[in-house]
Amino acid sequence: MKKRLLLAPLLLILTLTLVSAAYTCSDGSELSTASKEISENNRASVNGLGIAVIKAEESAVLNKIEADLLIGAEKVMLTNETRSEIVDIAGTEYNISLVNVTDTTAKIKIDGSTDEIVIGELDVLKGLEVLVVEAEKGSLGEISAEIIVGTDEVSLSNTEKPAEIITFDEKQYLLEISSASDIKAIIAVSKCKTGNITLISEEVEEKEENATEEENLTETNITEEPETAGEEETEKPFYKETWFLIPAVIIIIIFLFAVYIKIKHSYTAE
């Protein structure tokens, strides 16, 4: 009981300390955060992570903001005047070229794979998310397109999923939406110097569970102590259990000695 009373204020202090922030690093290293305002169909590097805002939206009536993001994003300008562009994403190089454009689509080629992608829509080609921002065809046959490529799409909103932990190029990042309008969004990106990003509420639950297990173990030990004492009392030394036989043995010895003396006297008299 005394141990439980001592642990209670400790757990309260620990909880108040941890809930002051939402996330931490698993090894106690520094969690660095940077944020940037990014317009729709544009890309920016935030805390070392390439991010593009595909769509941003704000609803004052619903008090809701949301944004669709492209992770590991790179913006590429393509024309038929250059054979291809080489883009490095997470250590992998992709050979990207423009095949043709129409009023509504652009035919993109990545590492030998070709797809016709609708302008303004996101599609998957050769394992990459591809967004055709705009495409043009000139009167002299020249064609051009502006595209954004990335590895994954992430959707954030303040009502459903305001934050998400993602892994890019073997590094964890925490993405959070700070604000948004119909044309742009402010995105915050956090990362640990070392270790992994951890949701603090999970750490609190784990610490409370460990403390509970420690309390239960202590109570079990306290409960078992009287039983151990009882066992020590029942397991008495042998001489304590047989002391009452000593007088009987002495009497038997005296009796036998008396019989011996009497027999001896009888032989002497004869």
Do the beta carbons of residue 39 and residue 180 sit within 8 Å?
no
pLDDT in tens, 131-168: 999 999 988 889 999 999 999 999 999 999 999 999 99
pLDDT in tens, 22-33: 899 999 999 999
- Position 253 confidence tier, pLDDT thresholds 50, 70, 90: confident
Q: Which residues of 48-67 are buried (b: 16+ CB within 10 A; e: fewer)?
A: ebbbbbbbbbbeeeeeebbb
Do the beta carbons of residue 189 and residue 173 sit within 8 Å?
yes
User: 118: alpha, beta or left, given left = phi > 0 and alpha = psi -120 to 50?
Assistant: beta
Judged against a pLDDT cut of 90, whether residue 247 lies above it is answered with no
Q: Which backbone phi and psi does 221 adopt, to 5 degrees?
A: -65, -40
pLDDT of residue 241: 52
Do the beta carbons of residue 40 and residue 55 sit within 8 Å?
yes
Give dist(CA 127, CA 151) in Å, integer: 7
Residue with the two structure tokens 């890019």:
168
* Domain ranges (residues) in the chain: 1-26+197-261, 27-196
Judged against a pLDDT cut of 70, whether residue 117 lies above it is answered with yes
Beta pairing partners, 78: 145
- Position 5 confidence tier, pLDDT thresholds 50, 70, 90: very low
Q: What is the mean pLDDT of residues 108-120?
A: 97
Give dist(CA 29, CA 194) in Å, integer: 6
Give dist(CA 153, CA 130) in Å, integer: 10
- Position 234 confidence tier, pLDDT thresholds 50, 70, 90: very low
Q: What is the mean pLDDT of residues 25-49?
A: 96
pLDDT of residue 8: 40
Least confident span in 105-109, 187-191, 224-228, 245-249: 224-228
- Position 81 confidence tier, pLDDT thresholds 50, 70, 90: confident
Higher pLDDT, 211 or 147: 147
Judged against a pLDDT cut of 50, whether residue 203 lies above it is answered with no
The whole-model pTM stands at 0.66
The Cα-based distances of 168 to 191, 224, 263 in angstroms read 11, 52, 109
Judged against a pLDDT cut of 90, whether residue 254 lies above it is answered with no
Residue type, 267: Y
Higher pLDDT, 226 or 72: 72
Give dist(CA 130, CA 121) in Å, integer: 8
pLDDT of residue 213: 61
Q: Enter the tokens of residue 62.
A: 């619903």
pLDDT of residue 21: 42
